[in-house]
Structure 1
């Protein structure tokens, strides 16, 4: 992180991280507080190790980390993580079409498991299918690897489709409030603005996924799946960069389970801060923790929507003409 970005964080968070002197000791300076919090989020080292490194107490490290993450969520999250509107929406649609060759796309959606220490209560709820405890981060990512929406806190045993159906994204989309009604005619079909998802999600007018591979796919259908998968790599790359920068997320988060969503939200906000301020990213950093669980088909039985099926077929024919 550059000094310019560091100074911006100090200025924006000064109200939340300015402590008063006491009779016994001077308050820890603002710049040190921000440095302590960033160091812990970027490394995940123990509080005692960090306390020795900065010459403060372990209790002070714990307090600073908690206050910093809370301040990031309260002060900067809504500014740096928000669904695109108007010109920004058009920029993202053009970006996906230019960079990834997928029209009418305004983001890719997926879930990532963040390892956590098994909580003392209801720990089985957090035990995911890969055999470790986690909390789910659902995120929508644009073509520049920035988060435009996050949903954090569901236990690791919950399926991705259930997380989606209980999120604000799903509620707004089903009520027609997620995106403006802007369509583009492709192969004679009006194609709406949409998100791209994996097989774990339902096929809806506002979320597109590939054809289920039952062994009978045509060449055109396989090519469509390849094009969609290539565009969806934005969200996979974003998760990799998130965990590469803020490595506390790539190991078990050693904080109270009630604080886990706040820490994850702070890291997602910091990710966008770094991306939007053009901070460099070291490709040699570890990009992920334990392997991700693969999703299952999220379409409810007997509830197939014919419109997205027609849209998917139109896009399939459109891509076939470009081969």
Structure 2
């Protein structure tokens, strides 16, 4: 005799049937301080996310109770900012761990869908000029369109692919970011395996192609000494011979520090990226999407007037690790002469 087996939603087993939506946590009943301590963001920011993502999160469901967009967003923020699926966040907002996982997936997808609008280089000349002027105001480096940096995000081992094993012997993805003078992220590429070093990541990146093909022109990117000097990528000098060389390196360092602040802010605000609660337990592709989602939230936070989250002790931790400098014989000669001319023109 066949026995029909019905798979019950975990929330129904926990909380039973009743209303058509799950609505146990009231934002208006708690303070901003509490929301920031648990979910990382204040009330008005969360309401803005509900308005922005609500339609995407109101998808048809076969479950007898749909989880409200507000609750889904709180679940995802709780994961992003704590880095853990522990029952604490789920118990606060009244959903199971299984539903927490679904919410994180759905909110991540909704944020990634909006990445092309919220993470991009400016397309108009006035907007590009505004960026270069903001950079010039930092340390008088002219025509800078962005600073580029790379960071590692720990993931579970995607066996048997060893390309994700980084130089520390851990599994990770390499994530490249470009930001402007205010810390807004202009580009994020999070699909590279952890074995690739920063310079190799840049060489294969879409941003490099945009500058190489002249889609973005009349400006520079700044990169640390781990990058290869290119006609569109300025790196610091390794040998200083003149006062102009010293002035150039000082200006480069001051300007590049913005990227270090951005990376620190991301890891401090979104603990799922810093590995303190363990590695991300997803495929490399899904881990990359989580990185993009956090970058979208980072930009929205700046847009809504929230400041970078940069504790001093974390800034020191985020300083770039030593990588091998590019051999002298592999330096782009044309780029080398362009940099020398740039230094003489602007720092002599």
TM tier, shorter chain?
Answer: 0.7 to 0.9
Provide the C-alpha distance between the structure 2 equivalents of 1:166 and 1:280, rounded to a whole number of angstroms.
32
Task: Judge which range, 284-293 or 96-105, deviates more.
Answer: 284-293
Equivalence for 1:187: none
Q: Deviations over 1:53-110 (max 9, x none)?
A: 3221211111110111111001x21111001232111011001111221111111111
1:296 aligns with 2:319: no
Provide the C-alpha distance between the structure 2 equivalents of 1:254 and 1:287, rounded to a whole number of angstroms.
24
1:223 aligns with 2:247: yes
User: Quick one: higher RCO (CA 8 Å, sep 6+), 1 or 2?
Assistant: 1
Structure 2 matches for 1:57-96, cutoff 5 A? 57-74=96-113, 76-85=114-123, 86-96=125-135
Provide the C-alpha distance between the structure 2 equivalents of 1:40 and 1:62, rounded to a whole number of angstroms.
9
Provide the C-alpha distance between the structure 2 equivalents of 1:17 and 1:69, rounded to a whole number of angstroms.
10
Equivalence for 2:289: 262
Task: Judge which range, 43-52 or 98-107, deviates more.
Answer: 43-52
1:17 aligns with 2:41: no
Q: What SS does the aligned partner of 2:216 have?
A: coil
Q: What SS does the aligned partner of 1:258 have?
A: helix
1:53 aligns with 2:92: yes
Q: Deviations over 1:263-283 (max 9, x none)?
A: 000001110110111114454
Unpaired stretches in structure 1, ≥5 consecutive residues = 183-192
The structural deviation recorded for 1:313 is: 1.9
CA contact (8 A) 1:82 1:149 kept: yes
Structure 2 matches for 1:63-212, cutoff 5 A? 63-74=102-113, 76-85=114-123, 86-122=125-161, 124-179=162-217, 182=218, 193-212=219-238
Count of aligned positions: 303
CA contact (8 A) 1:203 1:305 kept: no
Structure of larger gyration radius: 2
Provide the C-alpha distance between the structure 2 equivalents of 1:32 and 1:285, rounded to a whole number of angstroms.
33
CA contact (8 A) 2:202 2:208 kept: yes
CA contact (8 A) 1:201 1:299 kept: no
- In structure 2, relative to structure 1, the CA distance for the partners of 1:128 and 1:218 (3 Å cut) is farther
Unpaired stretches in structure 2, ≥5 consecutive residues = 1-40
